Every structure is written in structure tokens, then in C-alpha cells.
Amino acid sequence: MDWLINIIHYVVPFLVLLGILVFVHEFGHYIIAKLCGVKVAEFSIGFGKQLWGKRDSSGTLWKISAVPLGGYCKFLGDGDAASSSNEASNLSEEEKKYAFAYQNPFKKLAIVIGGPAFNYLFAIVVFTAMLLSFGKMDFPPIIGSVIEGSPAQKAGIMPQDKILSVDGREVKTFNEFHQEVQMNTSGTVALELMRGDQKIKLDVTLAIIPLDKELKQEQKPMLGVVSVTEVEFDPVKLSFFEAVKEASIKTWDVSVVTLRGVGQMITGRRGTDDLGGIVRIAEMSGDISKSSSWLDFLIFMALLSINLGLINLFPIPMLDGGHVVIYIIEILLRREINEQAKEYVFKFGFLLLIALMLFATYNDFARLFNRWFS
């Protein structure tokens, strides 16, 4: 029966999570395409063999496919699900009016951005609803994990330690804890922790990371800890507009932190061990569904939606961001890029994505191996 319990706790939440986020993303493409007068031939959750399908009055085939690791909108005249090739030349003159390939680059750009934009909108809606229902939310000042080789690990800080104060200043949220560490100028931070029933005082020498190696300034002190995933709510009632503002700020902050992390990986200041893929998402969604509330699961979904929207905007061919770059270039040049050149670019992007997915999957299984056998 253990295998059945694991399916319930890991596979089912993962499929629900991914299905919702893929639907949100593709619906963004779909709705903007409809507004731009482009016909959507297929709207699929998943890839591969069709398991279920129904065609609506506008001719769009809505379907669920066998491989639940993504989805796509296939527009009229597209030769494949990624719109990287087309068969629009075979269309009649009337059909060409509704084909994606024959739209101006401004419409194409809007349709491509629609997917990531809806991922961001979904996160803002979730955060707004929670703020209106429960009040302000924040992560508690509890250590979720400690980065290997970091000052925190060397000082003996452990997961589940609760931070009481930083340099004598009481902290009530993880954000306050982070801000106090960033404000430290001495290079050594005094922490008061609660570990179980025991109070512990530690002096931790911070690692200093230069944000600009050439200028050697705007330096950032680093402790090397990550917060827990569960949030706490402060029952302060907000108006609708205050909630939307707060939700938008949180969404922006998550994007900034993600970009900083990616930048640190690219420049070598952070290891690539944090890079995860589908298996990591399934693991995290299962862990949260087992040990946390549905609110934490919904917040995790919103955070993942932000990351999905942001990553899709990266200027990598085959991703939405790669299409964005191409259409911006076409707008600037006032002409279309050669179709064969686009094909080569998309093939390179496909190989790059496969390589990244394989690397992320390797990290996922290495992490699982350490988790199971450590």
C-alpha cells in the first residue's frame, strides 16, 4: 500500500499543479490570439497521443494528451506545436487572415507574451485573494535549509533553528532577518537562536560577495540560509487596492530573487546544485501536500507560476522569450527574418533546452539519492 500512498501524495498533487499552471500559461496565449483575430487550431494539456478531446464552435480542438509535462496552443497554419515551422502557404487567402504566420510582428509579440503574462497574473490573483482573506503574509524567521560550505554551516546553524534577534534587534519574519543581515557593516553578525527549548547565541563571520567585481563595491554580505516554505499570516485587513499592490510587490520580489540566483549561477558565484527540473517540482509538491496545508500548496503554485512565466521569457530559442527577441528584431528591421535562419535558431534552442533538462534531471536524481541514503 505504500506505493499507492506515494502516488496520492506525490503524483496526484504534481499533476494537479502542473495541469493548472500549464492551462494558465497556454490560456494566456489563447485569449490574446483570439483578441488579435488569430484562430487556435488546438489547445492541449500535455504532449503526445490524445487521451480526450472536444472541438468547440470556433473550431478549436481542446484536448488532454498522454505526456503531462507541458502543453501548447497550435495556431492555424502552424506545422508543429512550438510554431517553429508552418504550413500556412497551403492555406486559402481567406484562411491566411486568421493564421498566426501572416500576422504583423506586433500581434505575434502580444500573443507570445500572453502566456508568461498570465502566469504572473495568476500569482497576483492568488496573493491578492490570500491577502484579502487572511491578511498580510510572510515567511517566519525559521531556517529551512543551510547552504553547504556557507558561513551559517560553519557556525553550526541548523535547519528548523528559529532566529530571535540579529545584532540585538528582534526579528519577527524571515524578511526582517534578511534585511538586518544586509544592513550589517562589521562583517560579523550576532545571532540569537531558539533550537527546541534551548536559546543559542552565535557570532557568525559573513561571506562578502562583490556585486561588481571590477568596481569592488555594492558588496552583499551572505550568511547562507534559506527560509522554510510555510508562510504565516498577520491578520491586518487590507483594502482591495492595498492587497493588489502588496501582491504585485511580492510577485516582483520573487522575480528579482530568481534572476539574482540565475545570475549568480551564470557568473559562478553560486553552484548549479539548486537547478531543478520536473522531478524536483514533483518532490516539492508532494512534500508540501503531505506536511503542509492547502494554503501552502497554493502559495507554492503561485511561486512556481512566477518562475514559469519568468523562465519562459528568457531569450532562448523555443521558449517564448526566444520568439520575443525574433519579433522585436523584425519590428526594428521592418521585415521578416529568413525562415531557414529561424529554423536553425529553433533547432539550436531545442538542443539547448534538452541539455538543460538533462542537467536539471541529473541534479534532481542526485538530490533524491542523497535524500534517500544519507
**Number of H-type helices and E-type strands within the chain:** 11, 12
Alpha carbon distance 119, 286 (integer Å): 21
Q: Is 246 a catalytic residue?
A: no
DSSP label of 161:
P
Query: What does the block give as the cell for 314?
Result: 528568457
Maximum distance among all alpha carbons in the chain?
A: 77
Q: Could you tell me where the beta strands, DSSP code E, fall in 180-279? A: 188-195, 198-205, 207-209, 220-222, 225-227, 232-234
CA-wise closest residue to 101 among 81, 86, 118? 86
Q: Treating both helix axes as pointing N-terminal to C-terminal, what angle do 320-333 and 105-134 enclose, rounded to 10 degrees?
A: 140
Query: What does the block give as the cell for 338?
Result: 529568413
> What are the CA-CA distances from residue 235 to residues 106, 141, 156, 238, 265 (Å)?
44, 18, 34, 9, 38
Alpha carbon distance 150, 157 (integer Å): 10
Q: Which of 26, 42, 180, 192 does the annotation list as catalytic?
A: 26
Phi, psi of 21 (to 5 degrees): -70, -40
Alpha carbon distance 268, 262 (integer Å): 10
Alpha carbon distance 210, 122 (integer Å): 35
Indicate left, alpha or beta for 244 from its phi (over 0: left) and psi (-120 to 50: alpha): alpha
Work out whether strand 61-75 and strand 136-138 pair parallel, antiparallel, or are unpaired.
unpaired
DSSP label of 39:
-
> What are the CA-CA distances from residue 317 to residues 53, 251, 342 (Å)?
29, 25, 9
For residue 92, the Cα-to-chain-centroid distance in whole angstroms is: 40
Alpha carbon distance 109, 209 (integer Å): 38
Active site residues: 26
